[in-house]
Amino acid sequence: MALINKLPVVLEKIPGGNVLLTSADTLLSWSRASSLWPLTFGLACCAIEMIATGAARYDIDRFGSGVFRASPRQCDLMIISGTITEKMSSRVKMLYEQMAEPKYVIAMGNCAISGGPFVYDCYSVVRGAELLIPVDVYVPGCPPRPEGLLYGIMKLQDKIMKESIIKGN
Amino acid sequence: MANIIEELKNKFSGAVLEQDAAGAIFVPADKIKDIFSFLKLSYGPQFDYLSSLTAVDHLPDIIEVVYHLYSVKGNTTVVIKTKLNREAPAVASITEIYKGADWFEREVYDLFGVDFTGHPDLRRILTPEDCEGYPLRKDYSHPRIMIKPKAEVKNI
């Protein structure tokens, strides 16, 4: 990505260069948003709804995210679907750190947002994924319907479209 | 069921056996291995399947270990319980007799602290490796546990 970093400096000096930059921005953000490859990270019941989202009726493939990769090195979206226990939390962090930039996280379901139904009397549940890794989109529900997860992915796509290489996002 | 009690009493004359209200048989902790190998090998309808091995914490001084045995040929279930001292609960491991008891005993060790002597690999199975204490004991507390505020019941 070194060439991309030097591009704004070069292009700003050329007349008409700014127009080129915003077009390049739009192109890059659009291409990232339209092919978010998720990591297969189903932890509990929300995984079933995530699988249903990937199946034929609610097809996640029309958003470009149909290929769920098993390896964190090959994906750019981590959908944390399910309860995070203390024993699993170190693995969540490890997988997040293994993903390459730019990477995004969706916290799916009440357990990933804040501990869900386990927030009061449980000794082993981490109260929300945000205690471990930075989260971009929260999708509430127990479990959220597949349409809810798709809405979350659409919101994430809007967020990515606002990113810009000029500002270094 | 009465059959089993009679046979056990004949075979292990020194053991004190009594029955629960629900039909569970209480046996002394030091006779566990003998009784189980008798039930698996020598008893009529052989109890060849260990369905479950759990524990119950009775404050202030007893932890009970509960064994559920099932006989495939005889289609009967028998429930066997032992009472252990809560200060240092220890009982012989039955992994040599029932291989399936391996992870059950690891779980009971992890959550209650019962030491199974003779177990091939006794270590924590469900809680993280650095967990201290035994979560399913009734006097266990953890900083994460929040008390849920009691909802007021209003008569509308």
Instruction: Note the ipTM here.
Output: 0.75
* pLDDT tens digits along B97-124: 999 899 999 999 999 999 999 999 998 9
Contact of A126 with A85, CB cutoff 8 Å: yes
| CA closest to B145 among chain A residues | A121
Residue B137 has pLDDT above 70, yes or no: yes
Question: Does B5 score more than 60 pLDDT?
Answer: yes
SS (H, E, C) A10-58: HHHHCCCHHHHHHHHHHHHHHHHHCCCCEECCECCCHHHHHHHHHCCCC
Confidence label for A46 from pLDDT (cuts 50, 70 and 90): very high
Q: Answer yes or no: are the C-beta atoms of A116 and A139 closer than 8 Å.
A: no
Residue A144 has pLDDT above 90, yes or no: yes
Are B81 and B23 in contact, with CB atoms under 8 Å apart?
no
pLDDT confidence of residue A73:
94
Q: Could you tell me the pTM of the whole model? A: 0.81
Cα–Cα distance for residue pair A159/A30, rounded to 1 Å: 11
Are B41 and B94 a contacting pair, CB within 8 Å?
A: no
pLDDT score of A169 more than 60: no
Is pLDDT of B29 > 90?
no
CA-based nearest distance B147→chain A, Å? 6
3-state secondary structure of A117: helix
Beta carbons within 8 Å of A83's beta carbon, 6+ residues apart: A43, A44, A111, A112, A116, A118, A125
Shortest distance, CA B89 to any CA of chain A (angstroms): 23
User: Could you tell me where the DSSP H helices lie in chain A?
Assistant: 2-13, 17-33, 46-54, 86-98, 110-114, 146-161
Q: Are the beta carbons of A123 and B140 separated by less than 8 Å?
A: yes
What are the strands of the beta sheet with B62-71, ordered from one edge? B18-19, B25-26, B76-85, B62-71, B49-58
